Amino acid sequence: MLIRRPSDISPSEITPRRCYEGRREFIKLAAAGSVLGAAGLFARGAAAQEKTLGLQKLASVAKSALSTGEPPTAYKHVTSYNNYYEFGTEKDDPARYASRLKLRPWTVAVEGEVMKPRSFGIEELLKFPLEERVYRLRCVEAWSMVIPWIGFEFNRLARLVEPTSKAKFVEFVTALQPETMPGVRLPVLDWPYVEGLRIDEAMHPLTILCVGLYGEVLPNQNGAPVRLVVPWKYGFKSAKSIVRIRFVERQPKIAWEKANPSEYGFYSNVNPNVDHPRWSQSRERRIPDFFARRPTVIFNGYGERVAGLYAGMDLKKLY
């Protein structure tokens, strides 16, 4: 018998508490002859838009034509089922602990290969022309949501700092607050969390800096006060709580790539034909449905707009 120590188990292998509690509840209902009732309960939960957290409302938000037509995932699921390892590896840890995150003062320094380096306060970022973009979120763990993000195209900010011809990549560095983030005491990743995009990916109109969802500012557990959203890539590419943006000449080493390069590549485009070494990516589970699986669509359904970025590339090798 093989006995594995806790240190041998990757956080991604641990079943989130909400998943197994939900399965137990469903099984109990099924045993009582209420399978159809339970299925209806989950369906109503997905469709119903719960009350928001009462955070600051965002005014003058335009609707974007780039939104998907799919119905959004219920607010309660969007804000309670999260990956934000700075606050723990369980899916409900961010909602439990992220209220400690210090959001003011907050500035985002933009530097590196730019003509006009500068810092932006969060108050300045909230004054950018904001749009609601209903984007799919696809996690590398094979679950997905549909979220009405509020933000602005990253290229708007980039134009203000004027990247030089040497800027080939963009590096995003996230907040490190050991006093508020219990997860950074764990050697899961090399903190602070670092993500990166090729500059044409960053400047693409679908790539946004997000400051809200469902009409309000971002909840802490969703990456407040400003995060990246890149809808055709796996969710971990959309860095949360950003404090520094650097335009660089060389491809940055991102957090998950440093932690396990055989499982997490720099590009990490959603691709049903490239499996994770420990599970298939061909199908996905739309939260909150525990059982129904739907086919994964290459580039998360945004291929018509982004496939040209990767013309001639081997997307299995350059994962």
Pairing mode of beta strands 194-198, 62-63: unpaired
pLDDT of residue 37: 36
The predicted pLDDT at position 52 comes to 79
Residue 98 lies in a domain: yes
Q: How many domains does the chain have?
A: 1
Q: Give CA–CA dist 281/75, Å, rounded.
A: 25
Q: Is 212 helix (H, G, I), strand (E, B) or coil?
A: strand
Query: How far is residue 242's CA from residue 209's CA, in Å, rounded to a whole number?
Result: 9
What distance in Å separates the CA atoms of residue 91 and residue 1, rounded to the nearest whole number?
A: 30
pLDDT digits (tens, 9 = 90+) for 156-211: 999 999 999 999 999 999 999 999 999 999 899 999 999 999 999 999 999 999 99
> Which residues of the chain have a pLDDT value below 70?
1-50
Rg (CA), the chain: 20
Q: How far is CA 123 from the centre of its chain?
A: 22
Query: Rounded CA gap, 80 and 90, in Å?
Result: 11
C-alpha to C-alpha distance for 297 and 101, rounded to whole angstroms = 35
For residue 60, give the DSSP letter: S
- Residue 6 domain-assigned (yes or no): no
The angle formed by the CA atoms of residues 87, 92 and 97, to the nearest 5 degrees, is: 40
The SS3 assignment for 135 reads: strand
pLDDT of residue 18: 40
125 is a domain residue: yes
CATH number at residue 102: 3.90.420.10
Residue 5 lies in a domain: no
How high is the pLDDT of residue 41?
A: 32
The model's pTM is: 0.85
Q: Cβ distance 150 to 131 under 8 Å? A: yes
Cβ-based burial of 42 (10 A; exposed 0-12, middle 13-18, buried ≥19): middle
* Per-residue tokens: 147: 């979220």
Give the DSSP letter of residue 40.
H
Is 315 among the domain residues? Answer: no
Q: How far is CA 135 from CA 23, 25, 269, in A?
A: 27, 30, 15
Report the alpha-carbon distance of residue 43 to residue 212 in Å, rounded.
25
Asked if residue 174 belongs to a domain, the reply is yes
Is 246 among the domain residues?
yes
Q: Are the CB atoms for 98 and 83 separated by under 8 Å? A: no
- Residue in 275, 284, 9 with CA at minimum distance from that of residue 137: 284
Beta-bridge mates of residue 147: 135
**Quick check: 213 and 200 in contact, CB under 8 A?**
no
For residue 170, tell me if it sits in a domain: yes
Look up the domain containing 294 and give its range.
12-310
